[in-house]
């Protein structure tokens, strides 16, 4: 057992002991020294045989399970293929809020404002229709890299990654149907999982995070449609970051509080906040009561009826200036895709080509001229300057849109690991393919590209992603 309770900041324990009853506070200290639950959520677009023993369901998320003992995930090729995502269980309560209150049967636009490293974004993406759009935003450049990587593994093209402050989205008036804000916070709910978070904690950090959250709540609801769903969450227990933010939301007079139904056996604590005659409910997950880390979540509906026309104003000339790939080259690109006619293609200033679902092209252009776009759709690759043929990108191989007629080579476990480590595999060729591109698969799921030559296979797994662990 760890002795985390002995190393908690005194000012934190002084405050929390006032928030909880004496009995609850003692139970909290006991729980924080206990084991950290491990859980994962499957990718519904990539069904696979995931072989973890002794698993039990996460009750508030249909596609998630607890694992009794943490395995070495780096030794499982399926995680690299995007078959599942390792996610803290409490944070998946978002699933319950969305399935109860979001119009998931419709084609909608969703903003995940503070999205890295991608747990909530992949969860949201699992629930959306094919013609919906997810904008995953992360202001910190380095944190956007794992976000992009995790969305790439999930495999869907209906995502755009941006890197903007909340105030930048305010100009997109009534643009999104759902906005999820998992706000930057002091991280008190992570003290068990990450003891370093306790070392970084201070009252000034709580105050600083609260100020960031105030700014977010002031700006981001403007981008939400009338009747739209707004979800606010943190992984902290501080009233300045939770209850006071609910008061701020209520104080706008623009939002109707929503209840999220749950089973009392789950151990979730309801926190009621009243402001201006209205009550909002927050849902608190805390170690000694729920099987997960610390979380606070609340849901709201923006009052009013949805406008027939959107109110944002962006120059049509700027939108028109975003050029897509020429028709002739597009026809060749469509051959690499399932239902290629449903996509258009964009080439950035680094000459990389991306597949954008046709229904998303106008939104992509709007976001490109109004926001800092870091990634869009599925990166297909780049054109060979000698023969103008596509050199396919890793993203295309692991996507859910790559053409089914592209040659594939199923491999056993050892060859899958060697492929991920960019080492030599036992297979030397693919039957029926003397020359050209092929996809390596494990348990039916794509891991990446090889190029078949007459007597060998060249491994094109990205060097920056390669498995470095000794497996």
Give the residue from 272, 194, 241, 137 showing the smallest Cα distance to 2. Answer: 194
* Average pLDDT for the chain: 94
Please state the rounded mean pLDDT for residues 43-62. 95
Give the residue from 299, 295, 245 showing the smallest Cα distance to 275. Answer: 245
- Please give the share of the chain, as a percent, with pLDDT higher than 70: 98
Count CB atoms within 10 A of the CB of residue 5: 18
Residue 41's pLDDT band (cuts 50, 70, 90): very high
What per-residue confidence (pLDDT) applies to 308?
Answer: 61
Q: Which residues pair with 229 in a beta bridge?
A: 178, 301
* Residue 209 annotated as catalytic: no
pTM > 0.85: yes or no:
yes
Residue 1's pLDDT band (cuts 50, 70, 90): very low
* pLDDT over threshold 70, residue 313: no
* pLDDT over threshold 50, residue 246: yes
Residue 325's pLDDT band (cuts 50, 70, 90): confident
Please state the rounded mean pLDDT for residues 396-403. 98
What per-residue confidence (pLDDT) applies to 454?
Answer: 86
241/251 Cα distance (integer angstroms): 15
Residue 385's pLDDT band (cuts 50, 70, 90): confident
149-185 pLDDT, tens digit each:
999 999 999 999 999 999 999 999 999 999 999 999 9
Tokens of 38: 């491990």
What per-residue confidence (pLDDT) applies to 388?
Answer: 86
Which of the residues 61, 185, 209, 235 is marked catalytic? 235
Residue 464 half-sphere exposure toward CB, CA atoms < 13 A:
4
* pLDDT over threshold 70, residue 50: yes
């Amino acid at each position: 057992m760890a002795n985390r309770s002995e190393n908690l900041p005194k000012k934190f324990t002084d405050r929390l002991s006032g928030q909880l009853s004496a009995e609850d506070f003692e139970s909290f200290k006991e729980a924080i020294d206990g084991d950290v639950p491990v859980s994962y959520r499957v990718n519904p677009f990539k069904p696979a045989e995931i072989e973890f023993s002794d698993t039990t369901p996460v009750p508030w998320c249909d596609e998630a399970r607890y694992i009794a003992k943490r395995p070495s995930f780096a030794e499982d090729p399926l995680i690299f293929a995007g078959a599942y995502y390792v996610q803290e269980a409490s944070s998946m309560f978002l699933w319950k809020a969305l399935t109860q209150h979001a119009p998931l049967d419709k084609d909608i636009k969703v903003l995940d404002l503070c999205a890295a490293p991608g747990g909530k974004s992949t969860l949201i993406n699992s629930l959306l229709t094919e013609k919906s759009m997810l904008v995953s935003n992360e202001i910190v450049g380095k944190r956007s890299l794992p976000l992009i990587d995790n969305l790439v593994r999930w495999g869907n093209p209906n995502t755009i990654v941006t890197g903007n402050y909340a105030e930048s989205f305010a100009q997109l008036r009534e643009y999104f149907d759902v906005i999820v804000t998992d706000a930057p916070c002091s991280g008190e709910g992570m003290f068990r999982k990450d003891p370093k978070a306790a070392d970084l904690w201070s009252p000034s950090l709580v105050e600083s995070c609260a100020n960031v959250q105030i700014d977010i709540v002031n700006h981001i609801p403007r981008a939400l449609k009338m009747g739209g769903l707004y979800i606010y969450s943190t992984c902290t227990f501080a009233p300045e970051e939770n209850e006071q933010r609910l008061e701020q939301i209520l104080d706008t007079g623009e939002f109707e509080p929503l209840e999220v139904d749950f089973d009392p056996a789950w151990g979730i604590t309801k926190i009621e906040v009243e402001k201006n005659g209205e009550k909002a409910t927050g849902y608190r997950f805390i170690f000694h009561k729920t099987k997960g880390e610390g979380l606070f979540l609340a849901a709201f509906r923006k009052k009013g009826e949805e406008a027939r026309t959107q109110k944002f104003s962006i120059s049509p000339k700027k939108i028109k200036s975003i050029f897509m790939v020429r028709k002739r080259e597009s026809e060749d690109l469509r051959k690499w895709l399932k239902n290629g006619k449903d996509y258009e293609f964009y080439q950035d200033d680094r000459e990389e080509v991306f597949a954008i679902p046709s229904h998303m092209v106008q939104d992509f252009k709007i976001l490109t001229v109004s926001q800092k776009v870091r990634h869009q759709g599925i990166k297909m690759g780049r054109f060979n300057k000698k023969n103008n043929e596509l050199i396919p990108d890793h993203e295309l191989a692991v996507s859910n849109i790559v053409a089914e007629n592209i040659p594939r080579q199923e491999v056993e476990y050892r060859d899958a690991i060697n492929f991920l480590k960019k080492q030599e595999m036992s297979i030397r060729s693919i039957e029926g393919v003397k020359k050209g591109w092929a996809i390596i698969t494990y348990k039916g799921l794509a891991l990446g590209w090889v190029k078949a030559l007459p007597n060998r296979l060249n491994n094109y797994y990205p060097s920056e992603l390669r498995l470095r662990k000794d497996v």
